[in-house]
Copies of this chain bind each other. A is one copy, B any other.
Amino acid sequence: MIRFECDYTEGAHERILQRLLETNDEQTGGYGVDEHCEKARAYIKKACGSENADVHFLVGGTQTNTTVISSILRPHQGAVAAVSGHIAVHETGAIEATGHKVLTLPSDDGKIRAEQVKELYDAHWNDAAPEHSVQPGMVYISQPTENGTIYTKSELEALSQVCRACGLPLFMDGARLGYGLVADDNDLSLADIAKLCDVFYIGGTKIGAMMGEAVVIVNDALKKDFRYMIKQKGGLLAKGRMLGIQFETLFEDGLYFDISKHAIDMAVLLQTALTKQGISFLYHSPTNQQFPILPDRTLKALSEKYTFSFWEKADATHSVVRFCTSWATKKENVERLIQDIQALQ
């Protein structure tokens, strides 16, 4: 079985494993205050052009979203997100479990627009009795989105401007951030993101690491006591250096971007070939998630050799599915998939 159902089917990049082996006998203090974590922090801050940022390493995405969001909001506030946002649909109510509503905005492509945020904000504050409903307290976006799309620089600037005008911290979930940063269409740098967001995270789990997400807190007002929050929410890894070593390896010389680029190359290869075959896609995704619309009988046949995710029914005889490429995807497997789809047409 060749797996395309998600972007975490393999282990870790070999250089990460190598580094773990080399450093294995070192003795370090726990909980992320060792030298590897310090180096990784320095590399990341440099990559973000943000020497004053705080960088924290957590283990996984749901944990990171929960920790960041519950650290920011007061009890009567909610997080604004796309109706398809990860926190809205795929985290088993983790945000609600910390007491906060996710205030959803409609979205066809996973992105939310500055105007939508402004409208929601105004609707709340223009209500005769706003205290009877949840106050919008921050904005959550994903880059790339759950649909593979990415915000352009001007879209993010507009969002950022509205958020700042409304006093709403802007948080970017970057579980797949690398794949967004190196996408062909992309015009946003890490430094732009650090300037436009208040806090964001750089995903490791889906891009070469065993596990690990690097939270970058840019806004000073959000930095206070964040380590307490990581500890309380179960994200303060005892052997914190395991995270530090991985991010050190990924960021010391650009490995993170190089391996992200490979995933994009593989996705473009797939997209281009399928498009040539006359297949259309649900979303315009320049990143590692591709959502072709395929005949159900084709999918049935494919499912004997490949794994992929069912997304939704397109019509009576077609479905949208998701294929993910990743840093670890083998070109021969993508080519085989392309041929097999071709053969099944």
A interface, CB within 8 angstroms of B: 1-3, 5-6, 8-12, 14, 17, 20-21, 23-31, 59-64, 66-67, 70-71, 74-76, 78, 89-94, 96-102, 128-135, 205-206, 210-211, 225, 227-239, 241-242, 307, 309-310, 328
Give A126 Cβ to nearest chain B Cβ, in Å. 10
Given A20-B17, A239-B8, A100:B91 Cβ within 8 A = no
- Rounded to whole Å, the gap between the CB of A328 and the closest CB of chain B is 8
A234 touches B96 (CB 8 A): no
Known contacts A11-B25, A26-B10; is A93 also within 8 Å of B78 by CB? yes
A144 smallest CB distance to B (angstroms): 16
A128 contact set on B, CB distance < 8 A: 309-310
- Whether B11 contacts A133 by the Cβ 8 Å rule is no
Contact pick for A24, options B2, B17, B76, B97, CB 8 Å = B17
State how many angstroms separate the Cβ of A113 from the closest Cβ of chain B.
21
A3 touches which of B29, B92, B210, B227 (Cβ 8 Å): B29
Across chains A and B, which 7 residue pairs bring their CB atoms closest together, nearest first?
A: A63-B234, A11-B24, A76-B228, A92-B232, A93-B134, A131-B227, A3-B27
B31→A75 contact, CB < 8 A = no
Can you list 15 contacts pairing A with B, beta carbon distance less than 8 Å?
A: A5-B29, A6-B238, A11-B20, A17-B20, A21-B21, A59-B211, A60-B238, A75-B98, A76-B92, A91-B232, A98-B99, A131-B228, A205-B238, A210-B242, A211-B239
Q: Would you call B11 and A231 a contact (CB within 8 A)?
A: no
CB–CB A60/B236 < 8 A: yes
A234 and B11 form a contact (CB under 8 A): no
B12 touches A27 (CB 8 A): no
A211: B residues at CB distance < 8 A: 59, 237-239, 242
- State the number of copies, please: 4
Chain B residue contacts of A66, Cβ below 8 A: 234
In the complex formed, the residue of B with least CB distance to A5 is B29
What's the nearest-Cβ distance from chain B to residue A288, in Å?
15
Say how far A221's CB is from chain B's closest CB, in angstroms: 12
Write the chain B residue with the least CB distance to A97: B99
Are the CB atoms of B17 and A237 closer together than 8 Å?
Answer: no
Distance in Å: Cβ of A8 to nearest Cβ of chain B:
5
Q: Please determine whether A97 and B232 come into contact, CB atoms closer than 8 angstroms.
A: yes
Pair A9/B28 contact, Cβ less than 8 Å: yes
Would B26 and A94 count as touching, CB distance under 8 A?
no
When distances are taken between beta carbons in the complex, the residues of chain B under 8 Å from A31 are: 129
- Do B60 and A234 touch across chains, with their CB atoms under 8 A apart? yes
| Least distance between A93 CB and chain B CB atoms (Å) | 4
Check if B60 sits within 8 Å of A75, measured CB to CB.
Answer: no
Q: Which of A5, A8, A76, A309 has the most CB of B within 10 A?
A: A76
Q: Is A231's CB under 8 angstroms from B131's CB?
A: yes
A74–B30 touching, CB < 8 Å = no
Chain B residues with Cβ below 8 Å from A231 are: 62, 76, 91-92, 94, 131-132
Once bound together, how far apart are the Cα atoms of A210 and B96, in whole Å?
31
Extra contacts besides A92-B131, A97-B233 (6): CB < 8 Å: A1-B27, A3-B28, A14-B24, A20-B20, A64-B234, A94-B233
